[in-house]
Amino acid sequence: METYKSDKVIIDHNIDVVYSKLSDPRVFKAHIDENIDRLPAEAREHLEKVKFEEDGISVESPMGALKLSVAESIEPTMVKYTAQQSPVPFGLTVNLEAIDEGHTQSVTEINIELPMMLRAMVGSKLSDGAKKLGEVIAQLPYGNM
């Protein structure tokens, strides 16, 4: 299994707040529903393919339905999602570390089992994807969700 990590990013919120939001996908649905009109048309189009549920996130992809479920969590330092329906085994882990009362450090990991031939073709894209996902997680409006 290969691991692709984001850079360390700083989130301007308390670790307990960040953990509570990342460990419950329904929080994202409520926030998106409240703010859908403010999003660009392209983002709204992509979000039509995503469903936030109590136990995970479902995404319609070119490879078919993909469901990520919370597989493990260690409050307040780690949330691990695992693919329940996927052509290849993979997971997403968000590691959190308190810096001080108002700041949290985060590193996001994509863990995926790819055949050697595919690794060479998509490894750099997965690495970029992990970095971008880490940046997105850092920019989420935790105080307003």
State residue 63's pLDDT score: 63
- Name all domains of the chain by residue range, CATH numbers in brackets: 2-144 (3.30.530.20)
State residue 14's pLDDT score: 97
pLDDT, tens digit only, all 145 positions of the chain? 899 999 999 999 999 999 999 999 888 888 888 888 887 888 778 778 888 887 788 888 666 778 899 999 999 999 999 998 788 898 999 999 999 999 999 999 999 998 888 888 888 899 998 999 999 899 888 888 8
Task: Take residue 134 and report the two structure tokens written for it.
Answer: 């880490």
**Bridge partners for 52 per DSSP:** 57
Full-model pTM: 0.86
- What b/e readout covers 19-36, taking b as 16+ CB neighbours within 10 angstroms? bebbbbbebbbebbeeee
